[in-house]
Structures are given as C-alpha cells and as structure tokens.
Structure 1
Amino acid sequence: MSAEDVLVVSGGNPLVGEITVRGAKNLVPKAMVAAVLGDDPSTLSNVPRIRDVEIVRNLLELHGVTVRDGLSSDSLVLDPTRVERAAVADIEVHAGASRIPILLCGPLLHRLGRAFIPDLGGCRIGDRPINFHLDALRQFGAVVEKRPEGLLLSAPQGLSGTRISLPYPSVGTTEQVLLTAVRASGATELLNAAVEPEIIDLICVLQKMGAIINLDTDRTIRIEGVSRLSGYVHDALPDRMEAASWACAALATGGDVFVRNARQTDLMTFLNVFRRVGGEFSVTRDGIRFWHPGSKLASIALETDVHPGFMTDWQQPLVVALTQSTGLSIVHETVYENRLGFTSALVDLGAQIQAYSECLGPTPCRFGRGNFVHSAVISGPSPLHGADLTVPDLRGGFSYMIAALAASGRSTVRGVGIFRRGYENFEAKLESLGASVSG
C-alpha cells in the first residue's frame, strides 16, 4: 500500500465550514455511456473529477469516442461519431476497476454489433450479480459467449423490444434496459423498475436525445424504440450520497457544515430521518446547512429500501452518528446483504454495536432466510477513540473517516485511495472543514 493511500486523522474536533458537491457518481458515468447512442456530440456539465469518470472516459476513448474538456472546468464534450471496436487487451486493462463496462453493452451492440465485458470490479458489499444484465440483454436478442478473459456479446439479428419483469428493482439492470431499449426495434416494457433520482435523470438525458420513455406510477417503464438519437446538453444532478455523508459527519462530530448544491427534493427521506435523530438543517437556494444543535441525539429504528425509501448508501454514515445518540437504535439493511460488515471496525473504536442475521424490522426482506448479517443494534452514546482502520469500500470508508474524526486521539486510515473513485477533492474538503489529517 502506497503512502498516498494512508491518512492519519487527529479527531475530536467538530467539522465546520462549507463544501461543494458536484454531479452524482451514480449518474455521470451512465450519462457518459448514453452519449455513445447518439449520432452527434453531447455536452455533460457538473462533472466531478473522480476516478470513476476517468475510467469511463478511458473506456469510451478506447472505443473511438472523442472526449474533451468543455468550456467550463466541470464539463465534458463527448463525440461518438467514430465509434469503433476496441482491442480485448486494451479493455482488460480496466478489468476489476469498474462495473461500467456491462452498461456499454447495449450502446455498443447498437453501434457495432458486438461488445466485450472483462471481469467486473466495484465495491464488494454484496453479490451484485450481472445475471440480471445478461438475462435482459438476451431477451433483447443478444448472444452471450463465455471466454476465458470475459464475455463476448453479439447481436446477429439486431436488438428488438421485449417485456422484462425484474424480481427486484435493480438500479443497474434498469439502467441496462434503458440504454438498450431506446434504440431497439419495437416497444419495451420494464416492470418493477428502479426509480431512483439518478434513474430519472438518466431518462431525462435519453429523452433529450430523442428517446420516447414513459414512467408509470407502478414502477413500470415503457420505451418506444427509435432508429436514431442525437446528442444532448445536460447538467448532472448533484450527488445526494455525498451530501448526506457530509451531513452525518457534521452530526457525528458536533459540527456545522453547509453543503453547496445539495437539493432538498433528492434528500427528503434522509432529511426526515436526520431530523428524527435530532440534527438540524436549513434549506437555501444554494444548498443545505446541516448542524448538531448541541442537545442529545435520539435513537431510532430504521430500514433501508429502494427509492423512495431510505437509501442504503446513507445507512453507513448514519450508523456512525447513531453511536452518539442516546438509547438503542436498530438498523435493518434490506438492499445489500453484506453492508453491515463495516461495523466491526466501529466496535474497535469503542462503538457498542451488535450485528444479527435476523430481520430486525417490520419488513421481511430477501435476506431473512439466509445467513447474512444484515441487522444491527447500536447502543449509545459511546465515546470513540482512535484506532487503525482499513477502508472496506467507498461508502464504508467514508464512514470510517467520520468515526475517526469523531473519535478522540489519533487514527490511521488505510486504503483511502478508493475515495478518489467517488469523492472529488476529498482531502481538500476535509481540511477546509478544519479536520486535522495528514498523509
């Protein structure tokens, strides 16, 4: 592990100040992929400078897409007019670095008639199988061939609209269907679709390109395939995961943080929970201010769920704040089966957390019959102390940082390089809030 992957944190001080969040990590790379579907250049603004964007940029350039910086520092111009096949060896360079290649399949099948998928990476927080993606692509008419280095997909008869019913409202599979159906011949009906704000923003991107997409109130999306799409000009929605993480950091450290660009409409479910715990917030036209009012924090019972429920990416940073609340809090994770594994490190810092494989919530979830640790009871308030920590994944890693900042004494956090995947200028933001961190 290189020195730049290690941060030493001197905690115990409140975070105070202002930071800015840019476009959502869960939207921007997908909007970049959508540009491949167009016959004209696209311009995407509010783009964060994060590793995931760099990976997708490299993948697109390997396939002949010209990607250049736009007129503003946070914009990209993507020109797909010369899309071409990429060498398997070149694509393999990105194997294990991102899960985005699976989403390139539909656009590349439309443009080139074939697509290659290397081994896929991403945070190890659950099974996250790609079988949903492959099953959907097969229903559109794709042929999947397994090879030692990955999967080769082709569409000898082209892609045609279909009817797909998801067993679970998977965000990734919904994105796959949207990116494939918009140029497939005929109509596509997707039942039990994900409807997260990032999905809606992707639909907005595709509609700007000329797609015809209808979203019903029962999680059904209907797409009428078109033969041609143009480019788009789009300003990406801000990252609600990052905004909520900084809010939890303010609460856990007894601080006061203004998150510029945070939007109330994207955070309504989170804001309700934040208020129930005892945090205060104020919404302005430029963002949201989050702060600890100085009184005791309250314990809560909480279940994660797909949108519009409490999102799983908010759970981990909030658990850190709940270690400082009074009483017993219960968290039931229903989206990813392994997302509570990070709590063992919080125990090393002094938190009182007991994890269970039972469903500790009113909603029976798909993990209830398995041996997955997906519920937790947090007892607080617990004084936290410094410790040595190793980042497990992107969101869990941010939660470790929050815990280290809230703890008294010094902590060493290893593996912080993963933050560059999803957080722009992470260390600079910490320093601007008064955090004591050093490499």
Structure 2
Amino acid sequence: MAKLLTIQGGKPLSGRVEVRGAKNLVPKAMVASLLGDEPSVLRNVPEIKDVDIVTALLQAHGVQVEHDRATGSLSMDPAKASKADSAEIDAHAGDSRIPILFCGPLMHRLGEAFIPDLGGCRIGDRPIDFHLEMLRQFGADVQKLPSGIHLSAPASGLRGAKLHLPYPSVGATEQVLLTAVKAEGITELSGAAVEPEIHDLIAILQQMGAIITVQTDRTIRIEGVERLRGYNHLAIPDRNESASWASAALVTQGDIFVQGAMQRDLTAFLNVYRKVGGEFDVHDDGIRFYHSGEALRPLVLETDVHPGYMTDWQQPMVVVLTQAAGVSIVHETVYENRFGFTNVLRQMGANIQLHRECLGSTPCRFGQRNFLHSAVISGPAKLKGTDFDIPDLRGGFSHLIAALAAEGTSRATGLEIINRGYERFTEKLENLGAEFELSRTSQPSFSTTGR
C-alpha cells in the first residue's frame, strides 16, 4: 500500500532542522571507496534512499559496509570486491542513475562492469551515451545488451585521455574523476563542472593519493596513479536541502534555523533570498531563515551551473515567487523540462505561464528547441489545498511546501521520492510544527491534469 500524506495548510513552519551530508556528494564518495586498497570512512552521512541504493550495490560487489546511523558514519572495506550478478545489480539499482558511476572504479578493480537501464527524476534529457563515449576514450570496450550495458577494460588497463564537455555536466565530471585517477598517464578535462560537491569529491580522491589540479578555466588535470588508499572524510552539508527549508520558511511566513547550512556554498541563493525579501542570520553552526513580515518582492531569475543560481533551488523558489507582490520571471537553463511541477501549483491557484522563449538576459541552449523553459509568475496568489502525486524530488518538495502554505487540506502520494534526498522528512515537518497525518492508501497515486 502507498503512503498518503494529508496536510492541513496555513500554519507557519517554525523551529530547527538539521542538514547532513550532501545527496549530490555522499553516494559518489561511497562509489570512490571501490578505488582504494584500504577501508574508507565517510562521516555526516544522511539517511536517504540513495545511500541505501549504493550500500546495496557495494555489498552486491562484495564490499563490506557498516553504517552507524546514530553517528552518521559509514565504513566501506573493498578488500573482497567481486563481480556481482546482473540481476542483483538491476534489482538494487531501481530507477537510480548512480550505477553509471561504478563503471570506472569497477573496471580498475575487476576489469569489467555492468549497468542496467537507468532511471532518475524525469526533469530533462540525461543521456548516458556521453558517459559511455568518454569511457571509450579511456579504452573501455562497451557492449549494449538487452539486459543493460557491459564494459570491460583492456588487458593493459585504462589510459588517460583528453576530453571536453560541451556543457559542464556534474555527472560527466564525476565520471571522469572516478575513472582518470587510476588510468595510466594524464587526463585533461576541459569544460568541467566545478560545483562544491565536485570539489569535495576531489578532496576525497586527493586523500586517497590522487593527483588532481583544478584550473581557473574549468579545466581539471588528473595524473593517474597505480594505487589509492582509503579515506576518512566529513561530507559537506547538503546545500540543496538547506535552500529548500529556507524557501519553506518564506512560503509559510515562518522562521527556520537550518543547522549545518553553510554560507560559503549558498552565496548565489542567499543573494536571491535577500532580493525577494527574505531575512537570514548566519551562525557558526547554521543559518536562520525567516520571513520579515513585509511583502515579498518579485524578481527576474536565471538558473545556471555553479557559481550561478542552482537549478535545484529553482522549484522551491518558484513557490516563494507565487507569494511575491508583482510579476516574476524565471529562466531555466540547466534542465529543459523542469517546469512540469507548476501544473499542481496552478491547481492550487498560482498564476504561472510557461513560455518557449528565453526570458532571460542571454539566450540558452533550449531557446530554439521548443521546450517550455521560462516561467512568468504573477502574485501574490491565494493558494488552496489540492490532491497531487509527487513527480520528482525538488518538484515534490515544492508541492509539499505549497500545500503547507495553502488554505485547507491537501493530500499527497509518492512520498517515497522525497526520501531520496530529504532525510527524515516527516520527522522534520513535525518538529517545525506542521499539521499533517501519514497513513496508508490502496490508491497508488493521484492523477495530475496536464502533466
């Protein structure tokens, strides 16, 4: 039976939440443990579904994993790493895209790797063909099978390559890092992503013995080494979850202290937060986010790769902008289909129009491709409760905070998706004073008109 979350809206969220290790770093750091000849320890690990998925995949490959949930510490010993059954990999992977990042480390360790068909949040085009082509550049033999994709390294091992990314993809950059560190020779990646999570992964690999240089022009140079040791690392906090709770404070006219939030990794978000009329106080152990009591202000916003305004911050901020007094414009330049979540907001009473044109300062790569990637938002809107099914991680969180701000009752299904990236979500809602009830339903989901 599916979980049903019934929300009584209209009450400000107030209190404290803790944010632990970044969803966009921790699973990749776990994969990196396969590269070491010794055990690795990762600290500040959140209890989220992606961690469970990678834990199961590592164990399927013979890695001994111990998770101390009380302290958030994860130890991984790859000494007995071995080939896993393809059916077992498929069963554990589910709809996650993380298995693609196992390819390089497994080829270094076992000489081969297998990945099933990949899923993930349906917010835009995330083809794996580019990943596979890069792995071919390292010398991998790639065979597409009915059950998935089999990769094997040549007898002489993988070799360094000179690579260029036409767009600074985070996943592709991670793929290169996890493969190049033990490839023979030098790898040079131009057009790389430089997000904080990338830098934290580089810090982990450097601890293990890797030689990696990040240059100022988005070029990363990796000198391959023969062996790597284990690591002991404290994962950076999840800046996306921090920004999500900050938006929740504004939408519900509340006051939330996010323990673990780091100003350094939220600079672009904090600038927008202040422009729209939010207030925040920076402390050593976190940031307090709150509504000032004055009317929120509209603005023009464009998402971008780091150090720009992150795409994962866009969806909760759109809910904030439905409450701003005036017309706001949001131009999404990272994922072409990320505005599908606005259908539910319109059901709630939001005034949002989607456009195919680039409604930003510069044209983006989606401008001539017929995607609805710009939004015009008029507010403030009086939101009313509705029934909805959670479509993806950030969009789902946005629906939930809109429901918490809306008048009346909302019912949500698909809550399992939220658990992919938000640790102990309902427990945190309860601590913030939200009024809700969690139950079971035989109805698998609510249909959403127009989605």
TM bracket, shorter-chain basis: over 0.9
The amino acid across from 1:52 in the alignment is D
Give 2:44's aligned residue.
46
Render the CA deviation track for 1:247-294: whole Å, top value 9, x for unaligned: 000000100000000000010100000000000000000100000000
Deviation at 1:420, TM superposition (A): 1.1
TM-score norm. by structure 1 comes to: 0.99
The amino acid across from 2:59 in the alignment is E
Deviation at 1:3, TM superposition (A): 3.8
Deviation at 1:206, TM superposition (A): 0.2
Deviation at 1:70, TM superposition (A): 4.5
**Is 1:17 equivalent to 2:40 in the alignment?**
no
Give 1:383's aligned residue.
382
Give 2:72's aligned residue.
74
Give 1:190's aligned residue.
189
Contact between 1:210 and 1:230, CA under 8 Å: does it hold in 2? Answer: yes
Deviation at 1:301, TM superposition (A): 0.1
RMSD, aligned α-carbons: 0.9
Give 2:441's aligned residue.
none
Give 1:233's aligned residue.
232
Q: 2:83 aligns with which of 85, 108, 115?
A: 85
Deviation at 1:72, TM superposition (A): 5.6
Q: How does 1:352-431 map to 2 (within 5 A)?
A: 352-431=351-430
Tell me, in whole angstroms, the C-alpha distance in 2 between the residues paired with 1:200 and 1:160: 23
Tell me, in whole angstroms, the C-alpha distance in 1 between the residues paired with 2:304 and 2:111: 37
Tell me, in whole angstroms, the C-alpha distance in 1 between the residues paired with 2:24 and 2:69: 23
Structure 1, gaps ≥5 residues long: none
Contact between 1:43 and 1:70, CA under 8 Å: does it hold in 2? Answer: no
3-state SS of 2:92 partner: coil
The amino acid across from 2:19 in the alignment is V
Contact between 2:6 and 2:412, CA under 8 Å: does it hold in 1? Answer: yes
Tell me, in whole angstroms, the C-alpha distance in 1 between the residues paired with 2:224 and 2:397: 40
Tell me, in whole angstroms, the C-alpha distance in 2 between the residues paired with 1:213 and 1:339: 33
The amino acid across from 1:417 in the alignment is E
Structure 2, gaps ≥5 residues long: 439-451
Give 1:248's aligned residue.
247
Give 1:132's aligned residue.
130
Contact between 1:106 and 1:180, CA under 8 Å: does it hold in 2? Answer: yes
Q: How does 1:27-426 map to 2 (within 5 A)?
A: 27-70=25-68, 73-156=71-154, 157-426=156-425
Percent identity over the alignment is: 65
Deviation at 1:345, TM superposition (A): 0.8
Moved over 4 A (4+): none
Contact between 1:9 and 1:436, CA under 8 Å: does it hold in 2? Answer: yes
Deviation at 1:373, TM superposition (A): 0.6
Tell me, in whole angstroms, the C-alpha distance in 2 between the residues paired with 1:97 and 1:209: 30
Deviation at 1:71, TM superposition (A): 9.2
Tell me, in whole angstroms, the C-alpha distance in 1 between the residues paired with 2:419 and 2:219: 35
The amino acid across from 1:152 in the alignment is H
3-state SS of 1:331 partner: strand
Contact between 1:391 and 1:413, CA under 8 Å: does it hold in 2? Answer: yes
Tell me, in whole angstroms, the C-alpha distance in 2 between the residues paired with 1:48 and 1:20: 10
**Is 1:7 equivalent to 2:5 in the alignment?**
yes
Deviation at 1:97, TM superposition (A): 2.6
Tell me, in whole angstroms, the C-alpha distance in 1 between the residues paired with 2:254 and 2:238: 21
Deviation at 1:409, TM superposition (A): 0.4
Tell me, in whole angstroms, the C-alpha distance in 1 between the residues paired with 2:93 and 2:191: 30
Tell me, in whole angstroms, the C-alpha distance in 1 between the residues paired with 2:2 and 2:112: 41
Tell me, in whole angstroms, the C-alpha distance in 2 between the residues paired with 1:412 and 1:325: 25
Contact between 2:332 and 2:374, CA under 8 Å: does it hold in 1? Answer: yes
Tell me, in whole angstroms, the C-alpha distance in 1 between the residues paired with 2:101 and 2:2: 34
